[in-house]
Amino acid sequence: MAKNTLSSRFRKVDIDEFDENKFVDDHDEAADQQGPDAGDMMAALHIALRNPPINSKNPAIKERAQTVVLKVLTSFKGSDIEPAVKSLDKNGVDLLMKYIYKGFERPVENSSAILLQWHEKAFAIGGLGSIVRVLTARKTV
Amino acid sequence: MAYHSFLLEPISCHAWNKDRTQIALCPNNHEVHIYKKDGSNWNKIHVLKEHNGQVTGIDWAPESNRIVTCGTDRNAYVWTLKGDVWKPTLVILRINRAARCVTWSPKENKFAVGSGSRLISVCYFEQENDWWVCKHIKKPIRSTILCLDWHPNNVLLAAGSCDFKCRIFSAYIKEVEEKPAPTAWGSKMPFGEVMFESTGTSGWVHGVCFSDSGNRVAWASHDSTVAVAEGGKTAVCTSLSSETLPLLCVTFITENSLVAAGHDCYPVLFVYDSNNAALSFGGKLDVPKQSAQKGMTARERFQNLDKKASVDSKEAVLESVHKNSISQISILNGGKAKCAKFCTTGMDGGMAIWDVKTLESAMKDLKIV
């Protein structure tokens, strides 16, 4: 009486996948990312922000990009952050904000403090709009 | 520039009559209240009670003096003034979710309703049956339609949707009109045809507007961007990411200038340069009150530091005219080609009327092209 004699294999089916009203984003090709070389910090930042894995669904690629960018961001001196943010264009600032918030999600020792400094400077340039774009972006970094 | 506070609750939607002496608005409930201007006062003259759910859209046809309203009860009513009373006529929209927005077409023989059922109902009056009939535009809409605007040719309809796209559909109904002439958006316009679909912006499209000529369409999106598309062989989309909170409504005031407003509680001007296909920020269109700057005592400074961790003496009160988000903009006179006055209503229950000439002279460097 206590034993379940009926098949419960149906419980393993993800019913949301079969919903005909399910919203599917437009799918684009994935782009690969290369790591920067050590040295000039400003150039490293620009290179790290190039080719973000926005269109990729592969979490490994995104993880790799995130670690690279985080490494570059944490190796900046506090006083260098502002000119670095100023050198980015509008899309660059939005992209930087995305990486900053991604970095907040997984705090490593001391990373949050540096990220908060970056956040303050990026917010001064990008304003609330850049944060709203992080929240509403369908294609995350 | 005049500001009148109607209610303490948000004004869900509003519409003006032809000579701008009466305004119909929904005070965030199931009714529509019509106010008439009397000198500097507004008196409530009619209350339209028929909807069973919140009224989400009102439009007042200037020539035929009919009001169409739509609500969350999945219905739309067309109201006609008989003597001194507004009489409703039910329109069956055949939708199974709330209606979100409604607009009369320029010739006032059709109206379109956007709804949460992922479709647009285009309704027209069938003379033989004395009844409003509706046709649906379904493909390729994937989510709620938030806003609609008609092209001046009475056939094309721009729709902004929660599936992050702004589209232009053809709403050509052969029973009520002739075949339309070719436009910048295409020449073959069967009913339901997608003439244009936006790319490049993400975020729900809160507001959409055709320019006066109909060759340009602008939309405001929830990712804090405004975009303009110009019709042609290949439609050119230009967007501008702003540093402000998302904008909820947008309208053209000349062929090259747009005014938009939203969660930042003040209207903003944008200028579109078609030669470079560039959209730029024109200026903040609010007249700030000069608050008296009194010196802070040491005690106040400490209190601020303790409570807010800042030494700023900025008050917590908004300096803009509207004290809450602006949800709708309407042109009062001048049309979309040379607007002279426009009106904004918002979630603070107030309505502000803005004079373009006064704004131009008040703000330096403000150029309305």
pTM of model > 0.90: no
Chain A residues with CB under 8 Å of B242 CB are 127, 129
pLDDT of residue A27: 60
- The alpha carbon of residue A85 is apart from the nearest alpha carbon of chain B, in Å, by 15
pLDDT of residue B291: 55
In this prediction, the answer to ipTM > 0.90 reads: no
Between B210 and A15, residue with greater pLDDT: B210
Decide if B241 and A133 are in contact by the 8 Å CB cutoff. Answer: yes
3-class DSSP state for residue B351? strand
Q: Going edge to edge, which strands form the sheet with B131-137?
A: B99-104, B110-115, B120-126, B131-137
CB–CB contacts below 8 A, A to B: 42
Chain B residues with CB under 8 Å of A127 CB are 242-244
Decide if A136 and B223 are in contact by the 8 Å CB cutoff. Answer: yes
Chain A nearest-CA residue for B247: A129
The B-side interface with A (CB below 8 A) comprises 142-143, 163-164, 202-203, 222-225, 241-246
pLDDT of residue B310: 67
Chain B residues with CB under 8 Å of A129 CB are 224-225, 241-245
For the cut 90, the answer to whether the pLDDT of residue A119 exceeds it is yes
Q: Which of A129, A132, A138 sits opposite B164 (nearest CB)?
A: A138
pLDDT more than 90, % of chain A = 26
pLDDT of residue B163: 92
- The alpha carbon of residue B211 is apart from the nearest alpha carbon of chain A, in Å, by 25
Low-confidence ranges of chain B (pLDDT < 70): 287-296, 310-317, 364-369
Decide if A132 and B243 are in contact by the 8 Å CB cutoff. Answer: no
Q: Which of A23, A132, A138 sits opposite B246 (nearest CB)?
A: A132
Decide if A127 and B222 are in contact by the 8 Å CB cutoff. Answer: no
pLDDT of residue B259: 94
pLDDT of residue A28: 56
Average pLDDT, chain A: 83
pLDDT of residue B315: 57
**CB atoms < 10 A from the CB of B362, how many?**
13
pLDDT more than 70, % of chain A = 89
Chain B nearest-CA residue for A129: B243
pLDDT of residue B311: 61
Chain B nearest-CA residue for A138: B202
Decide if A128 and B245 are in contact by the 8 Å CB cutoff. Answer: yes
Chain A nearest-CA residue for B205: A136
Burial of B319 (0-12, 13-18, 19+ CB in 10 A): middle
- The alpha carbon of residue A134 is apart from the nearest alpha carbon of chain B, in Å, by 8
Chain A nearest-CA residue for B222: A136
pLDDT of residue A111: 86
Cα–Cα distance for residue pair A23/B123, rounded to 1 Å: 28
CB B330 within 8 A of CB B15: yes
- Give me B208's structure tokens: 């959409």
Q: Which of A126, A137, A139 sits opposite B243 (nearest CB)?
A: A126
pLDDT of residue B248: 96
pLDDT of residue A32: 47
Mean pLDDT along residues A119-126: 93
- The alpha carbon of residue A132 is apart from the nearest alpha carbon of chain B, in Å, by 6
pLDDT of residue B274: 84
Cα–Cα distance for residue pair B70/B33, rounded to 1 Å: 14
CB A117 within 8 A of CB A81: yes
Q: pLDDT by residue (tens digit) across A44-97?
A: 888 888 888 888 778 888 888 888 888 888 888 888 888 889 999 988 999 999
List of residues 6+ apart from A70 with CB closer than 8 A: A99, A103, A108, A111
Chain A residues with CB under 8 Å of B246 CB are 132
Any idea what the Cα angle at residue B279 is, between residues B276 and B285, rounded to 5°? Answer: 140
